[in-house]
């Protein structure tokens, strides 16, 4: 149950990260366009944020790793998206008033909007590996399969967002959908953790022979 939960939620995380990144281009386009400068800024911030998240997630996984803490990462990532969803226009108005150059303006806007949520989402992958790894001899295979599942989620998230979501929903609706997926994933991890705790505490009947 634990393995299936972690793999499923890693898939959701990969899906959500790419959904969030693709929407970044739509957020910045009205102010800075959609040139290679803008996408270069978005990709740079996402890569830096994920690198920070991988490092932080690896360290966090050293201290009593559990599904409860795993759930906390998902919920924190979702909550950190709220300022981006609600205040994106205000933030970009402010940045655009300071820097009109699409290169540095888009870089600063990306930094303000995407760094924190993406860094927290980046913590999920190394923490997932820690939860799934049972022994040193199987760690490489575990990490490989985990990243396969996560990257598959990213690929499907890319297709769904770019081919369908942008046609079916408004931009803020897709962002709230991404928030709901991440927060819902955290709730699932927490419920599984609590179920395991209660099942472990359940009394066992003694059988007299």
Instruction: Using the predicted structure, report yes or no on whether residue 139 has a pLDDT greater than 90.
Output: no
The dihedral formed by the CA atoms of 163, 164, 166 and 168, expressed in degrees to the nearest 10 = 160
Q: How far apart are CA 141 and CA 60, in angstroms?
A: 21
Tokens of 9: 């939620």
Q: What is the pTM of this model?
A: 0.87
Average pLDDT over residues 167-181: 93
Q: Which CATH architecture has domain 2-200?
A: Up-down Bundle (1.20)
In the chain, which residue ranges form alpha helices assigned H by DSSP?
2-32, 36-60, 67-98, 102-122, 124-132, 139-159, 166-168, 171-201
Average pLDDT over residues 190-208: 62
Average pLDDT over residues 182-191: 93
The residues spanned by each domain of the chain are 2-200
Q: For 18, what's the count of Cα atoms within 13 Å in the CB-facing half-sphere?
A: 20
Higher pLDDT, 200 or 192: 192
pLDDT, tens digit (0-9, with 9 covering 90-100), for 41-88: 999 999 999 999 999 998 988 888 888 999 999 999 999 999 999 998
pLDDT, tens digit (0-9, with 9 covering 90-100), for 10-43: 999 999 999 999 999 899 988 888 889 899 999 9
Instruction: Please tell me the predicted confidence (pLDDT) of residue 143.
Output: 80
Note whether 108 and 42 are within 8 A (CB): no
Note whether 132 and 9 are within 8 A (CB): no
Q: How far apart are CA 66 and CA 131, in angstroms?
A: 7
The CA–CA distances, whole Å, from 160 to 52, 62, 85, 91, 96 equal: 27, 35, 20, 27, 30
């Amino acid at each position: 149950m634990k393995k299936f939960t972690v793999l499923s939620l890693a898939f959701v995380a990969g899906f959500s990260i790419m959904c969030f990144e693709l929407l970044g281009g739509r957020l910045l386009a009205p102010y800075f366009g959609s040139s290679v400068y803008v996408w270069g800024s978005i990709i740079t911030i996402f890569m830096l944020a994920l690198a920070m998240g991988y490092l932080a997630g690896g360290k966090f996984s050293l201290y009593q790793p559990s599904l409860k803490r795993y759930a906390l990462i998902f919920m924190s990532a979702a909550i950190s998206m709220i300022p981006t969803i609600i205040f994106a226009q205000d933030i970009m108005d402010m940045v655009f008033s300071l820097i009109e150059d699409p290169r540095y303006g888009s870089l600063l806007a990306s930094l303000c909007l995407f760094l924190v949520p993406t860094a927290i989402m980046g913590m999920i992958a190394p923490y997932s590996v820690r939860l799934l790894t049972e022994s040193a001899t199987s760690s490489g295979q575990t990490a490989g399969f985990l990243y396969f599942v996560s990257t598959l989620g990213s690929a499907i998230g890319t297709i769904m967002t770019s081919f369908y979501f942008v046609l079916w929903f408004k931009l803020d609706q897709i962002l709230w959908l991404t928030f709901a997926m991440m927060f819902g994933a955290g709730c699932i991890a927490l419920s599984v953790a609590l179920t395991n705790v209660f099942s472990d505490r359940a009394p066992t009947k003694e059988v007299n022979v």
